[in-house]
Amino acid sequence: MFNLILFGPPGSGKGTQSENIIAAYGLQHLSTGNLLRTEITNQTTLGLEAKRLMDQGQLVPDQVVIGMVGNFIDAHPEAKGFLFDGFPRTTAQCVALDALLKEKASEINIVLALEVSEEELVKRLLGRGATSGRSDDINEDIIRARIKEYHDKTTAVATYYAQFNKVVHVKGEGTIESIYADLKKEIDERI
């Protein structure tokens, strides 16, 4: 298996670039944000509790997302590899993911970190909120809270994988095509 984490703040282009990467490499896309939004649409107990936190730009508890990811990996035994998008977001999630992959005799091969300035992120997210219907993309205060949450907790994820020399930083500003070309180059060197 080839497992990749696409890492970066909200609005850094993870969703868009994930689509390009899974199409090219046949990886299974695992977005915890999408899984949580499906729970909300289905009005499950988990979804209702998650929505309260997501609407405030806060993270959903580790055990909840780790459980969802474990179920997703088990449900795709035929996968050539996974592209993790929006997960892991905390050190506890990194440790749990390593353990889940080890059970499958596998590991994370590369962490691609997209880098975008805060002003560009806010601009992109407000633009997305105008058309996507995502309630957490409409309000600038919530957007800034999510970016702060990213810096407070999630940068620990880059630190965690840096100790294994797995992190590659890629500039996330420019055209979608040029950013994808930079990501592809890094993947091709390791796959």
Question: Which residues form the interface with ligand AMP (CB under 6 A)?
Answer: 10, 32-33, 36, 53-54, 57-60, 65, 86-87, 89, 93, 146
Distance of closest approach, residue 38 Cβ to ligand AMP, in angstroms: 11
Residue nearest to ligand AMP (CB): 33
Q: Minimum distance between the CB of residue 57 and ligand AMP, rounded to whole angstroms?
A: 6
User: Rounded CA gap, 27 and 6, in Å?
Assistant: 12
Q: How far is the CB of 188 from ligand AMP (least distance, A)?
A: 26
Closer to ligand AMP by Cβ: residue 38 or 178? 38
Count each helix (H run) and each strand (E run) in the chain, helices first.
Answer: 9, 5
User: Shortest distance, CB of residue 174 to ligand AMP, whole angstroms?
Assistant: 21
Catalytic positions are 14, 89, 128, 134, 146
Residue 28 or residue 93: which is nearer to ligand AMP going by CB?
93
- In 3D space, the residue among 118, 157, 123, 151 whose CA is nearest the CA of residue 137 turns out to be 123
Closest CA to 68 of 26, 106, 41, 96: 96
The nearer residue to ligand AMP, 60 or 111, going by C-beta atoms, is 60
53 or 122, CB closer to ligand AMP? 53
In whole angstroms, what is the distance from residue 65 CA to residue 33 CA? Answer: 9
Residue type, 46: L
Between the alpha carbon of residue 24 and those of residues 13, 19, 27, 188, the distances in Å are 17, 9, 8, 11
Compute the radius of gyration of the chain from its Cα atoms: 16
CB 79 within 8 A of CB 1: yes
Residue 27 or 50: which CB sits closer to ligand AMP?
A: 50
Beta bridge partners of 4: 83, 110
